[in-house]
Amino acid sequence: MKIQDTYIQQVRAALWGGEAAWPADQSGLYMRMHAMQGTGPLVFPGLLENKDLPADARMQMKGVCLSTMQQQVRIGHVFAQAWTAMEKTGIRPVLMKGAGLAALYPEVQMRTWGDIDLFVGKDQYHPACAVMRETFPDALKFDEELDHYKHYNLIADGISIEIHRVTVGLQHPVDERRYARMEHDGMANSEPLDVNGLTVRVPEPTFNALFVFMHSWEHMMTKGANIRQLCDLALLLHHYRDRIDRACLGKWLKALHLFDVWQVYMSILADGLGLPSEEALFYDRSDRITQRSTRLFHDLLKGVMVAPEPDEKAPKNRLLRKAHTMRERLRNAQRIRRYSPEFARHMVAETMLHGALRFFAKDRHWE
């Protein structure tokens, strides 16, 4: 665990201040680890101050930092066009992730993002998609903006813009209804944020904490997670420590069967990433949580939670395809059981119900 330990020391130093070593004899391993975990731009600015840093590592780090800044300039230009166009037509988007989370970092350039996520809700969904097509007539577009999609996507000047009907896609109808009410409250009470001189809106802090956590957990379940997502949540909880409604958040987490998972996360943030324990809401030091949080943290560091290539394609036959999908989802629930047996049981129930509902529904195109 020497490499992982040193890597985490580098991340913690970048988040909260302090010095971190860069083992010259293993530069390649650390560079690959930061690339995999999305933490290069966070850690490299501090390490570049180390006069003993090898020349080749220094050059690579400068390249990553420069590329990040250039990408942010490109995204910022497209974002300003998209936001202004919607505002002019009376649409009130809310910025998700991206620049809204980067503002929580010591320097905005320390947090990478590759696309623009704008929540508009179901009522404004189709008008917003139309505005984006008019604003970016040469953009690459999807032909469909179906009402069961989570978002509509187009690519303008190489930048992906996602127009969200909903913030998170849930399969269980009860979860979906409950979360819709939480989402409504969080977006209706959005608050202003300055992004490069442009006043935008970001979600209300308590809901934003829930959403950022759920977005990360969604990636955990689909094997596409990284440490940067945990850094996002740690900094959000730290920045809004006096404004997050603890009672409301706890109620929401329990209603969505996510309280146990949240405690696993808080153990990682406090024990692994250095978030003060009093800011890690519902932090539990018990062995019941610590063992599973350690397991999840180690799997993340080893790259186990990064999505592999699929073993096989889904069959074309409708019944065989549905059986294949259900089998894969049940297998995934078994994997998640290592981290949260409680949520794994909910996944099984959700999969069985969803499978039954879809079996008797008319077939349709999916993302």
pLDDT tens-digit map of 33-91: 999 999 999 999 999 998 889 999 999 999 999 999 999 999 999 999 999 999 999 99
% pLDDT > 90, the chain: 74
Place of tokens 């917003």: 128
Label residue 25 exposed, middle or buried (CB < 10 Å: 0-12, 13-18, 19+).
exposed
The mean pLDDT value for 330-355 works out to 87
The mean pLDDT value for 255-267 works out to 98
> Is the distance from CB of 30 to CB of 23 less than 8 angstroms?
yes
Question: Residue 357 — very low, low, confident or very high, per pLDDT cuts 50/70/90?
Answer: low
pLDDT tens-digit map of 88-137: 999 999 999 999 999 999 999 999 888 999 999 999 999 999 999 999 99
Q: Flag whether pLDDT at 187 surpasses 50.
A: yes
Q: Flag whether pLDDT at 344 surpasses 80.
A: yes
pLDDT tens-digit map of 309-332: 555 666 666 566 666 566 777 888
3-state secondary structure of 216: helix
Residue-level pLDDT at 171: 83
Per-residue tokens: 208? 């934003």
Residue-level pLDDT at 2: 82
Any residues with CB less than 8 A from the CB of 46 and at least 6 apart, and which? 10, 13, 14, 19, 20
Widest CA span in the chain: 66
For strand 94-96 and strand 159-164, is the pairing parallel, antiparallel, or unpaired?
Answer: unpaired
Residue-level pLDDT at 367: 37
